[in-house]
Amino acid sequence: MDSQTNRQRTPVFRREGSFLRAHARWILAITLVAIASAVAVTSVMQKSVYTSDVGVLVAPRITSNGTPLPVDMETELVVATSGTVTSAAEQRTDVPASQLMKRMSVTVPANTTVLMFRYADATAVDAQQRAQALAEAYVAYRNASAPARADSPSAAAATGDRAEVLTRATMPTSATGPNYPVNILAGLVLGLMLAVGSALLRDRLDHRVRGPRDFTDHTGLSVLAAADASPVGSTGRAEVVMVGAPESAAAEAYRYLRVKVLPALSRPTGSTTFVLLTSARGDDGTTLTAANLSAALARAGKRVVLVAGDLRSPTLPGLLGVGDRAGLTNVLRGEIAPGEVLHGTGVDNLWILGCGTDTSSIGELMDEQGVRRLFAQLEQLADVVVVDSPPVLAAAETLTLAGLVDAVILVAAADHTSRTDLVAAVAELRAGRAHLLGGVLYTGPPAEPERIAEPEAVETTSGDPARGITVSRVSGTAEDPDGRNGRHQYARRGSGQ
């Protein structure tokens, strides 16, 4: 028990699926913005670059006996990029030696004695002229210094030590920069780092329930079913699919929920099971789940009474086509018996007890004594009573109802319900000794329930929960099949009436 309590108090920030899958859109968007920014900055801030190449052959020195001495190309490379050569080139181009050194590069092709001078500039002509000037400055320096080196102690007999420009510097025909591939790659790397980092921060700060595993981690409850909130009716709103489209794929989730719930509803013959549906703070699909589960149970042969217990947000009656008529509040005040105000729904074996005509003083009406009295009256009318209740953290009467029913189902909406609220709701329900059966998780964008139009005065009726007497969805009056018209008081099941 202690470990279970600790598990509730310590949030587990595990995501449904992988982290990358949960934040894929965010990471992709940030990365694309970074790449686009890199391209834009490159286009605006970096000018076109032209490069020109020229090769210089460095001849080996020949000793007095005709033996060639190997050329030390590493030394020649240092000389070619030295200030001595760039200063000489400065005299030829009127370009500062520092700028020449910054924009030039010299390489040695493998297994050759060739120096390849490359110079980059904003125009093709300047690139060609300055590459040529650098090559000629090197050749002039080396050839002029050859006799001095030949008289040195290390090469006293060296002669014929010369260098020459192989071809004139090339004239660039197109720009070689900016280097868009490199800049795009840099933008990609930077964008991924920024995107993943910001996604980690969002993930850390996001307290919404992500999926079934996340729901179970924070509540300790199993997910009985995952319903899709996105199926909509003709008005673009979520509908009671078990009533309007019971054979649709969307209705399968509620049949699956029925399979999970039915074993928990097993009671001795003549006993009624009470099931409460609630959420943490917002509706989060509670009303839709209550209506669809009730219809699913009714289609399985159970006699079901659906109670519109959310008096603070009475959407259930309108959802099933029941207007502002006598209902729950009137029963709680003792003004009428439940059997007189049950309304048919168009689904065999399913009736609804609406909110009532006066929903004021809810807190006083929903006290424990009044709820027990209501449940005792409903026990005579159905196999299962499904109660649609307000959110746990928004209404005190939910805890009163939860403590008196046989099972509580907690409804949450993925990417909408707060984990903090969910954990608090479970703690409140367990403190009130509620029997938590499990949860239902809604996925997809939240949708406003579609209200079924209120029926005309002539409406198809459905069977009486007590003895097969029909009840009009409009008036709530009973019509005896034998011709005895008039208001019917439901008989207790098993009485033989």
Domain limits of the chain?
Answer: 18-45+179-205, 50-165, 212-479
Q: How far apart are CA 188 and CA 183, in angstroms?
A: 8
- Residue 223: φ, ψ to 5°: -90, 110
281, 393 Cβ separation under 8 angstroms: yes
Residue 464 has pLDDT above 60, yes or no: no
Q: How far apart are CA 201 and CA 196, in angstroms?
A: 9
Q: How far apart are CA 405 and CA 85, in angstroms?
A: 96
Of 84-88, 141-145, 449-453, 460-464, highest mean pLDDT: 84-88
Amino acid in position 142:
R
- pLDDT band, residue 448 (cuts 50/70/90): low
Strand stretches in 64-109, DSSP E? 68-69, 104-107
Summarize pLDDT for 30-72 with one digit per residue, the tens. Answer: 889 888 888 787 766 667 889 999 999 998 877 777 777 888 8
Name the region of 25 (left: φ>0; alpha: ψ -120 to 50; beta: rest): alpha
Q: How many CB atoms lie within 10 A of CB 72?
A: 12
Q: How far apart are CA 472 and CA 460, in angstroms?
A: 7
Average pLDDT across the chain, whole number: 78
Q: How far apart are CA 268 and CA 266, in angstroms?
A: 7
Q: What is the average pLDDT across 83-97?
A: 92
491, 482 Cβ separation under 8 angstroms: no
Q: What is the average pLDDT across 148-170?
A: 62
- pLDDT band, residue 304 (cuts 50/70/90): very high
pTM value > 0.75: no
Q: Which of 405, 388, 438 is nearest to 256 (CA)?
A: 438
Residue 1 has pLDDT above 80, yes or no: no
Better-predicted residue by pLDDT, 173 or 67: 173
Better-predicted residue by pLDDT, 208 or 9: 208
Q: What is the average pLDDT across 220-236?
A: 74
The per-residue b/e assignment along 56-65, b for 16 or more CB within 10 angstroms, e otherwise, is bebbebbbee
Residue 372 has pLDDT above 80, yes or no: yes
Q: How far apart are CA 140 and CA 143, in angstroms?
A: 5
Instruction: State which CATH number among 3.30.1280.10, 3.40.50.300, 3.10.180.10, 3.30.499.10 fits the domain covering 212-479.
Output: 3.40.50.300
Residue 429 has pLDDT above 80, yes or no: yes
Name the region of 468 (left: φ>0; alpha: ψ -120 to 50; beta: rest): left
- pLDDT band, residue 159 (cuts 50/70/90): very low
Residue 238 has a pLDDT of: 64
Residue 334 has a pLDDT of: 87
- pLDDT band, residue 138 (cuts 50/70/90): very high
